[in-house]
């Protein structure tokens, strides 16, 4: 069973630090931006703020930002007998729910409904949930193909803002369980992790 495409964001990158001065997530109106900024700041994580025109599919947004779909993360919200969970995978892939079910180990799995997402992730636009389950008290699973990227771009709660950060920093903060559950949109079989390459180039 395959999950439908998720939504994240893309655009022009500007470098900031969660503990530095200047514009940051905390300066953008919105409870979710504030909560995410606090998480990053408490742990001293550096990130790049991504501002962009409103967009609704992760792969299209990655293309507009000239970032590989393999390093542009999207968050899929799923529901099992225990509750909600987050699945994080490359923008160019869909989630195999059967494999994801085995990774989470909590029983039968399906995509969350709109009502469940609105109730479980207040302050977030649909399709733009930050991939940090600890912010919401739910588990997070990340595909190994993202783990092998040096940098990834993540949703920040709306369709106009995202952040880019080191994958190693993300994994520490997300407390995510890694496994293989992503299937490339042009294929019908699971993808394998790619070796780490140089960090994606960004526009000045």
Q: Please check the confidence at residue 27 and state whether its pLDDT lies above 70.
A: no
Q: Please check the confidence at residue 113 and state whether its pLDDT lies above 80.
A: yes
Across the range 44-59, mean pLDDT stands at 81
- Report the alpha-carbon distance of residue 134 to residue 131 in Å, rounded: 9
Q: Please check the confidence at residue 82 and state whether its pLDDT lies above 90.
A: yes
Across the range 4-29, mean pLDDT stands at 41
Across the range 163-170, mean pLDDT stands at 94
Q: Please check the confidence at residue 8 and state whether its pLDDT lies above 70.
A: no
Across the range 191-198, mean pLDDT stands at 46
Q: Please check the confidence at residue 7 and state whether its pLDDT lies above 50.
A: no
For the entire predicted model, the pTM comes to 0.79
What pLDDT score does 198 carry? 42
């Amino acid at each position: 069973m395959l999950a439908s495409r998720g939504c994240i964001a893309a655009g022009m990158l500007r470098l900031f630090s969660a503990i530095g001065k200047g514009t940051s997530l905390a300066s953008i109106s919105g409870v979710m931006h504030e909560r995410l900024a606090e998480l990053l700041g408490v742990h001293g994580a550096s990130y790049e703020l991504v501002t962009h025109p409103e967009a609704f599919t992760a792969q299209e947004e990655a293309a507009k930002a000239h970032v590989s779909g393999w390093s542009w993360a999207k968050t899929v919200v799923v529901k099992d007998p225990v509750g909600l969970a987050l699945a994080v995978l490359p923008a160019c892939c869909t989630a195999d729910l059967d494999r994801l079910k085995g990774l989470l180990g909590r029983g039968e799995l399906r995509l969350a409904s709109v009502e469940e997402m609105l109730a479980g992730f207040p302050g977030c636009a649909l399709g733009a949930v930050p991939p940090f389950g600890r912010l919401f008290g739910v588990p997070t699973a990340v595909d190994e193909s993202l783990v092998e990227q040096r940098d990834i771009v993540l949703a920040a709660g709306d369709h106009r803002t995202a952040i880019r950060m080191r994958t190693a920093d993300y994994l520490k903060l997300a407390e995510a369980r890694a496994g293989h559950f992503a299937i490339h949109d042009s294929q019908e079989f699971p993808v394998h992790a790619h070796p780490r390459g140089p960090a994606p180039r960004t526009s000045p």
